[in-house]
Amino acid sequence: MDPFRFYLALGPVAIYLLLLGAVNLSRRPLLVSGGRDAATLALAVSGMVIVGPIELFAPLGAAQAGPYVWFLLLALYALCATLALLLLRPRLVIYNISVDKLRPVLATLVEQLDSDARWAGDSLVLPGLGVQLYIDSFALFRSASLISAGGNQSHSGWRRLETALGDALTREEVGRNPGGVTLVGMGMLIVAAIVFTIIEYPQAAAQPLLDFAGSLLRMLGR
């Protein structure tokens, strides 16, 4: 893999790992919707998609056809990612909090939102909001997810739950997650590798950008 493809593929991943590590090293939980979480992940792997499937399945002669072909291919990726996001069931992701810490907060909250709420293990039904969910966790990075159970869900109910839970979590303080150090360390290693590659092979790293800019200028000058 040439230097340009190397930092194009791994640059977004490094930024994602650094941001995720910073979240885990903070003392506050972070609540995001499932759509935002998936969109962030799609951006993180976009570089790998460009140097992988997009370049592999690009039409023959795409490089000679001009830079607009790559804009179309990137637009196709964006449309596919958007379609996948629209098809996702409602979900809330809470970073930097364990399930044991989240559950009492959620239990207090649902009593205020819906007096008819019912628990069954890690499953929760809020008939007044039209929400059915279960709690999942990822212990390694101390995060939890509220995932919809069944297809009959109220999106307005999920928005109410997201708003109320976000307000409740702002009052919670947690310890820093040691796993955040691992995430930041991995991100810094990738950044260091990219910087080293650019310093070691500056011409090879910059030439694709210069070629792309030249092709774009020639296309606009027509």
Q: Where are the domains of the chain?
A: 1-88+176-222, 97-174
Give the pair of three-digit tokens for residue 209: 């950008």
Is 123 in contact with 149 (CB distance < 8 Å)?
A: yes
pLDDT of residue 219: 55
pLDDT of residue 56: 72
Give the pair of three-digit tokens for residue 25: 């090293």
Q: With a cut of 70, which residues of the chain have pLDDT below it? A: 1, 57-68, 203-222
pLDDT of residue 166: 92
- Amino acid 107 reads A
Neighbours of 93 (CB within 10 A): 20
> How do beta strands 131-138 and 91-95 pair?
unpaired
| ∠ CA 206-10-92, rounded to 5° | 140
Q: How far apart are the first and last CA of the chain?
A: 33
pLDDT of residue 13: 94
pLDDT of residue 178: 86
pLDDT of residue 83: 93
Beta bridge partners of 6: none
Give which of 31, 35, 66 is closest to 162, Cα–Cα: 31
What does the alpha-carbon distance between residue 58 and residue 199 come to, in Å, rounded to a whole number? Answer: 30
pLDDT of residue 60: 56
Q: Which ranges constitute the DSSP H helices of the chain?
A: 3-25, 34-44, 46-49, 55-56, 62-65, 68-87, 99-113, 155-169, 179-200, 202-220
pLDDT of residue 18: 95
